[in-house]
């Protein structure tokens, strides 16, 4: 314990350079796939959450076709099953640890229910471990991205919708021409931020054997009994991935707000 | 300019919140004729904005009826020409009712020209060229044709409201609804907006105006409605209403604002 960090240890772990490089590639690929899956999922979920699907709406109007004033039928008529399902999904995924979700997907879904083909792609990525990791992280970030998109859409002033509707535009036209263009501008930075979060969060997939950067750290420790130095290397790699990304985001954020001419 | 041609017939209109605990509108009955300039006045919280917004169903009434162009638009379903019950197409009716808001509600991501041409092009499928020509002509009328390419954020409040008015006019509405159009403006900009509204009234546009501008009500309105507590308490010509108010609430209100 005389030295916390020993320079010669870096020399000792140098032969494991390719492991770290491969780990970095896995992490980046993992993050990209996760954002892609998460984004598609989030679009679907936020559409469901904001949908106006009221299958029991007919219960809310009386024979004259006029809205009832309260009562149980009025309450039932306001039930939106699509929104309910999406909200339940988002709340469950946001209120449980990612680690648990990754394990359930890996050991539960792809361990017991679905058998994945075992093969290796790019020469070093094991599909049967990589795929469940992507699915689990994608499902998780889908829930968070859904909330980003939903709040982005809902943050647009209600007056905008009123103006559009009073001009005779349909709900869909209002969404397409008025709400969405303004919402996208608001949520792009948050989505890019989520990407940075995912890069860091993807480290958790090492627990199911995805050979990312953390897995490289573990392999080096197993082979050389050195732990601090490989961890420092991993820290440096993560930092080099995340810091420039967030700086890039900040740059685009500034550029977009310049368009406001405020 | 008022005629006997009834355009909007409001009967016993009610808007309740919390199962009737709050009565924003408590049985309002009024008629609006073609060419009318109806000014709605009253203390804040009296339901005048709710009344106006109900006319094109931005607020969904709890009871009563609004017959616009022969159709009761408060009902979800109407009987069509063949006698079948069909869903009411509220968008069709809203096209014929222009609305101007207190806070302008221009689309900030679109230029002035785009703000004006969007709805005619998308809703009425007007060709772009025609829509832009029409928009520029209207802009010229309000003296803002040089700002066609500007964004709303670059305009003053009075300019924004004038744009909002001509944006609504682009749809060639049968009636214009004004929801406190000058309340969010700096005092020196009120005049330019009122001038546009006066000109519209002179051209015979049917208008329903919720406002605190008593001068405007007196000068331009041909009928004034006084509302308080969700009820229509007095209705008369401006001269009568302002000089010989009958309802004590109105007398009290006028003593405060005049």
Q: Which two tokens stand for residue B142?
A: 């309000």
Confidence (pLDDT) at A1: 52
Query: Hey, how many other C-beta atoms are within 10 angstroms of the C-beta on B194?
Result: 22
Mean local confidence (pLDDT), A200-220: 88
Query: Hey, how many other C-beta atoms are within 10 angstroms of the C-beta on B167?
Result: 27
Average pLDDT along chain A: 86
The values of phi and psi at residue A29, to 5°, are: -60, -40
- Can you list the pairs that B199-206 forms with residues at least 24 positions away whose Cβ atoms lie under 8 Å? B199/B141, B200/B165, B200/B169, B200/B176, B201/B1, B201/B37, B202/B1, B204/B1, B204/B35, B205/B35, B205/B175, B205/B176, B206/B7, B206/B32, B206/B33, B206/B34, B206/B35, B206/B36, B206/B37, B206/B174, B206/B175, B206/B176
Interface mutation target, options A160, A163, A182, A184, chain B, most CBs of B under 10 Å? A163
More confident: A106 or A256: A106
Confidence (pLDDT) at A66: 66
Residue A93 and residue A139 in contact, taking contact as beta carbons nearer than 8 Å: yes
Residue B106 and residue A61: Cβ atoms within 8 Å?
no
Q: Of A4-13, A113-122, A173-182, which has the strongest mean pLDDT?
A: A173-182
Rounded CA-CA distance A175/A166 in Å is: 14
Confidence (pLDDT) at A260: 59
| Confidence band, pLDDT 50/70/90 cuts, at residue A262 | very low
Nearest residue, CB atoms, B91 vs list A159, A170, A182: A170
Confidence (pLDDT) at A146: 93
In sequence order, which residues have a C-beta less than 8 Å from that of residue A254 and are 6 or more positions away?
none
Residue B119 and residue A167: Cβ atoms within 8 Å?
yes
Rounded CA-CA distance B66/A116 in Å is: 63
Residue B153 and residue A262: Cβ atoms within 8 Å?
yes
Mean per-residue pLDDT pooled into runs of 10, chain B (258 residues): 82 84 89 94 92 92 89 83 82 93 93 95 95 95 92 93 96 95 92 94 94 91 93 93 93 90
Confidence (pLDDT) at A89: 95
Residue A166 and residue B109: Cβ atoms within 8 Å?
no
Confidence (pLDDT) at B252: 93
pLDDT of A102 above 90: yes
The values of phi and psi at residue B207, to 5°, are: -135, 140
């Amino acid at each position: 314990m005389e030295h916390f960090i020993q320079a010669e240890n870096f020399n000792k772990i140098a032969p494991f350079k390719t492991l770290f490089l491969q780990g970095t590639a896995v992490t980046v690929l993992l993050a990209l796939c996760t954002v892609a899956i998460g984004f598609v999922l989030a679009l679907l979920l936020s559409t469901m959450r904001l949908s106006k699907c009221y299958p029991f709406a007919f219960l809310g109007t009386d024979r004259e076709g006029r809205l009832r004033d309260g009562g149980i039928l009025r309450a039932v008529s306001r039930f939106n099953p699509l929104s309910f399902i999406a909200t339940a999904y988002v709340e469950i995924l946001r209120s449980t640890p990612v680690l648990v979700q990754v394990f359930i997907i890996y050991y539960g879904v792809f361990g017991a229910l679905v058998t994945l083909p075992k093969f290796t792609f790019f020469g070093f990525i094991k599909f049967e471990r990589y795929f469940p990791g992507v699915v689990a992280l994608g499902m998780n970030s889908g829930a968070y991205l859904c909330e980003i998109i939903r709040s982005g859409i809902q943050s647009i002033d209600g007056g905008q919708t009123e103006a559009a509707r009073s001009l005779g535009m349909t709900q869909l036209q209002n969404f397409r021409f008025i709400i969405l263009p303004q919402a996208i501008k608001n949520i792009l930075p948050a989505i890019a931020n989520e990407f940075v979060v995912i890069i860091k969060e993807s480290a958790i997939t090492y627990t199911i054997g995805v050979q990312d950067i953390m897995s490289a750290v573990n392999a080096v420790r197993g082979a050389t009994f050195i732990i601090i130095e490989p961890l420092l290397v991993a820290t440096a790699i993560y930092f080099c991935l995340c810091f420039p990304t967030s700086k890039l985001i900040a740059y685009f954020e500034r550029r977009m707000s310049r368009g406001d001419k405020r | 300019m008022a005629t006997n041609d009834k355009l909007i017939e409001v009967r016993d209109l009610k808007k309740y919140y919390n199962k009737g605990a709050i009565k924003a509108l408590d049985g309002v009955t009024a008629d609006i004729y073609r060419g009318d300039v109806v000014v709605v006045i009253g203390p804040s919280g009296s339901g005048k904005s709710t009344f106006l917004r109900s006319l094109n169903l931005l607020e969904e009434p709890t009871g009563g009826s609004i017959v616009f162009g022969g159709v009761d638009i408060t009902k979800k379903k109407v009987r069509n020409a063949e006698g079948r019950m069909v869903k009411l197409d509220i968008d069709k009716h809203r096209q014929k009712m222009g609305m101007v808001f207190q806070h302008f509600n221009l689309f900030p991501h679109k230029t002035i020209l785009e703000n004006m041409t969007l709805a005619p092009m998308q809703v009425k499928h007007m060709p772009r060229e025609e829509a832009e020509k029409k928009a520029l002509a209207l802009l010229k009328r309000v003296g803002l044709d040089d700002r066609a390419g500007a964004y709303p954020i670059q305009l003053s409040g009075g300019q924004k409201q004038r744009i909002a008015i001509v944006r609504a006019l682009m749809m060639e509405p049968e009636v214009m609804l004004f929801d406190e159009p000058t309340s969010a403006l700096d005092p020196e900009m009120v005049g330019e907006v009122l001038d546009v509204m006066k000109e519209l009234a002179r051209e015979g546009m049917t208008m329903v105006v919720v406002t605190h501008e008593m001068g405007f009500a007196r000068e331009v309105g041909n009928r004034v409605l006084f509302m308080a507590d969700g009820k229509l308490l007095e209705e008369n010509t401006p001269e009568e209403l302002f000089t010989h108010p009958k309802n004590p609430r109105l007398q009290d209100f006028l003593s405060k604002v005049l």
